[in-house]
Amino acid sequence: MDGSIDDQISVDLNLWGKSKGLPGPYPLICHLMDSGAAATVLWRDYVPESLRSAVARGMETDISTVGRLIAF
């Protein structure tokens, strides 16, 4: 893989993540990206610093890494 356009990964938008209450199926990849973004905001803006630090210590890593893992 040299990074050219031919090396792009295609995403199947027919695989849906949810549809209840929506005009049509919502692709799974979009649902996963939304969920990850929401988790990032919650971790960064709403979880108290003391709890973020405790979780990071328990995982033997830093707060930023835990935030990325939660979003994943």
CB 67, CB 44: distance < 8 Å: yes
Whether the model clears a pTM of 0.75, i.e. scores above it, the answer is no
The full set of domain ranges for the chain reads 26-72
For the stretch 12-63, pLDDT in tens is: 888 888 888 888 888 998 889 999 999 999 999 999 999 999 999 999 999 9
